[in-house]
Structure 1
Amino acid sequence: MGEGTRELVDFCIPCNPYFPTPDMFNTLAKNLESVLKFYPSDATKIANQLSHVLRLNPATIAMSNGSTELITWMDHLWIHDSVAIPIPTFGRWTDQPMENSKRVDMFLLQESDNFELDIDAYIKFIRTRGSRVAVLCNPNNPDGGYLPRREIVRFMDELADLDLVVIDESFIDFVEVERNPSVAAEASIRPNVVVLKSLGKNFGLHGIRFGYLVANPGLAGKMRRTLPKWNLNSLAESVVFMLKEHAEEYHESLQLLSRDRYRMGMELSRLPEMTVFSSQANFLLAKLAPGIDGGELRDFLVQRHQVLIRECGNKLGMSSQFVRLVVRPEQDVARLVEGIRDFSKSRWSDHTDHQVPSLIMHSA
């Protein structure tokens, strides 16, 4: 498979290449035997530690085995009839309700608007459709589009009469254009708002399966009572208890990732093969030039250069002409760029080879 000695570089799965630090991984490895041998603490103890780190009231938090578990239970508990969601977005927000025969009102984000969400147009859409639940991902996945905090607060207040308003902040920690962009504190004092969070996405530790929500004590308490008492694993607990001690390293990792995002966006924008959209997440959305299929590019890169990318053809509101690329350090981006240029050369070579016989016959 290409240059078999090269390690795979993953531009597909969202990650934070700078956190956890090597020292944190060493500590986890050193304690792995006891972590695996003994039961984790119950959710109350872990919630108390997490709320201390986040400076939130523990009564406003409900933790889960990944944010997808919370999406599943929100659907069962609070989505009774219909839900509105801008697309393209994270697939479980559309798939989960449809699997349970709920009506999903999809608000299509326009490429001509760079996939930016117009809050007023979305609110009007929700009212016209009569949606009873509204979801908004900020930043959005796969484009990384971000709305200012004041707009999100206005959105929540405009829809105070709905059954539920969900703000998915799974990638909020990567935002740099605004200080304190989260609306979690505002959600905790509103009657119908839930904010969804994901430690796994923030750290790129998807294997620990750790998500949580923030809401008023009534909503958060109902979710806690619904979830199993021991629904978190010991490895996830270990990471939570390490957070306070390593908060400085985490914030530094976010600054480094922001730098890499800017550099990567500039580098990819120089390529004639793609158009790159602005992002405040730890990934970039790019549209490939006409005639280039994302699936073909993905297969070429992984086979020839051991580089893996996310082709977006299976996302509602997207096509295989779009790819999502996780932000990575410069040396990895150089390999990606090398692979894309090699792909273009190979296509040109194939095109030229196919043209040669017809030219010879014509001259004859």
Structure 2
Amino acid sequence: MRHSVDTGLFQRAAHSPSYFELTRGMGDGGRQIADFCIPCNPYFPTPEMFNELAKNLEMVLKFYPSDSATIAGRLARILRLNPATIAMSNGSTELITWMDHLWFTESVAVPIPTFGRWTDQPMETGKRVDMYPLQENNDFELDIDSYINFIRARRSRVAVICNPNNPDGGYLPKREIIRFMDELADLDLVVIDESFIDFVEVERHPSVALEATIRPNVVVLKSLGKNFGLHGIRFGYLVANPALAGKMAKTLPKWNLNSLAETVVFMLEEHAQEYGESLQLLARDRYRMGMELARLPELTVYSSQGNFLMVKLAPGLDGIALRDHLLSRHQVFIRECGNKLGMSSDFIRLVVRPEQDVVRLIDGIRDFTRARWDGPALVHSVS
């Protein structure tokens, strides 16, 4: 069944349209969307937690939140970190914006493709962005030594790594990230964006947040919305030594977090077990979804440690056409990567979803490819 979709929404910004923008003109069809675009945890919060939030909704909406220091102190207790090493924000992009204003004075090195704000934000304020291209023929893997040599050759003053990387899900072992930080101890700043680190399963304790607190120029960025499946609340935080974290905390508004964010933070400790279980379920789904996609001869599926999978389409297939087909005919929303630096419309990113949603995705892709050719195409899965 075809639904009315304003595809012009995708041409108006470098990011995907919001769920609200997308569904506003779709009527009842908007409620049926399977969202493979926005990287969210489908298993957390649990239905019981949502019921608890609903019971307190009137109070949450009517009353002022505590100041950010109080909320950050509670989060520090859960994370077992010194409160002086944390600064909380209204989403991780708020932190990226203020990092740029506070610490990006000349130039920043960024591997591409990656999360677009790491290149867009400093370019918007006139900084030089030194882009280190990840190579498709190397499965978009980041070679730390080559990247360090690039940073030295370009004389970049700030260096960024997203681990796992977005959109490909590539992951660097903790020892390599620590080596990277120590090799660049003379830079103005080294940023490790760990927005998707909780989804890693190949290492038991992959985060370098604790290591960042004892280094002079390292900031680790975290995104609670992605981990907890609550993008609408807009909350994130950074971890750094007390001088860096304190400077950021003093720069941010005193009441930059809302009451809903505060309520969720204060719920987390008692629901830690459910959160751990959600990560196990997602890792299971990532494996199953990868296997199902790899069976389609038109797709190349890349290995990922994020809560998403990057896929390359066979020659003759276009990601924009696939995106529009899936949305209008199957109510499946995907991320086409043509507007990401270092990527093309041959690539799409698919968020890990439960099995019943994956069936809809696979059916929609098969429907799309049948309409374009009769014969099968050769493909492989990247391991």
Mark yes or no: TM-score above 0.5.
yes
Match of 1:244, SS?
A: helix
Match of 1:347, SS?
A: coil
Alignment of 1:90-109 (within 5 A): 90-109=115-134
Normalization by structure 1: what TM-score?
Answer: 0.95
Match of 1:290, SS?
A: coil
1:145 aligns with 2:180: no
| Cα displacement (A) at 1:303 | 1.1
User: 2 CA distance for matches of 1:222 and 1:10?
Assistant: 37
Could you give the per-residue CA deviations for residues 228-257 of structure 1, whole angstroms, max 9, x where no partner exists? Answer: 000000001111000000000000000000
Identical counterparts, % of pairs? 80
Equivalent position of 2:202 in the other structure: 177
1:111 aligns with 2:136: yes
| Cα displacement (A) at 1:2 | 2.4
1:310 aligns with 2:335: yes
Equivalent position of 1:353 in the other structure: none
1:51 aligns with 2:76: yes
Of 272, 284, 287, the residue aligned with 2:309 is 284
| Cα displacement (A) at 1:72 | 0.2
Equivalent position of 2:193 in the other structure: 168
| Cα displacement (A) at 1:15 | 0.9
Equivalent position of 2:377 in the other structure: none
1:27 aligns with 2:36: no
Could you give the per-residue CA deviations for residues 23-81 of structure 1, whole angstroms, max 9, x where no partner exists? Answer: 00001111000000000001111111100101110000000000000000000000000
1:207 aligns with 2:238: no
User: 2 CA distance for matches of 1:95 and 1:2?
Assistant: 35
| Cα displacement (A) at 1:7 | 1.0
Alignment of 1:255-270 (within 5 A): 255-270=280-295
User: 2 CA distance for matches of 1:330 and 1:47?
Assistant: 36
User: 2 CA distance for matches of 1:115 and 1:169?
Assistant: 18
Equivalent position of 1:355 in the other structure: none
Structure with higher Rg: it is 1
Instruction: Write the letter of the residue equivalent to 1:330.
Output: E
User: 1 CA distance for matches of 2:143 and 2:55?
Assistant: 49
Could you give the per-residue CA deviations for residues 252-303 of structure 1, whole angstroms, max 9, x where no partner exists? Answer: 0000000000000011001011100000000000000001000000011111
Could you give the per-residue CA deviations for residues 69-96 of structure 1, whole angstroms, max 9, x where no partner exists? Answer: 0000000000000000000000000000
Match of 1:202, SS?
A: helix
Match of 2:239, SS?
A: strand
| Cα displacement (A) at 1:304 | 1.0
User: 2 CA distance for matches of 1:213 and 1:238?
Assistant: 19
| Cα displacement (A) at 1:348 | 2.7
| Cα displacement (A) at 1:203 | 1.4
Could you give the per-residue CA deviations for residues 142-172 of structure 1, whole angstroms, max 9, x where no partner exists? Answer: 0000000000000000000000000000000
Instruction: Write the letter of the residue equivalent to 2:39.
Output: P
Match of 1:106, SS?
A: strand
| Cα displacement (A) at 1:345 | 1.1
Long gaps (5+) in structure 2: 4-27, 375-383
Equivalent position of 2:369 in the other structure: 344
Structure 1's consecutive aligned runs of 4 or more residues displaced over 4 angstroms after TM superposition are 3-6
Equivalent position of 1:352 in the other structure: none
User: 2 CA distance for matches of 1:44 and 1:102?
Assistant: 31
User: 2 CA distance for matches of 1:44 and 1:13?
Assistant: 29
Match of 1:190, SS?
A: coil
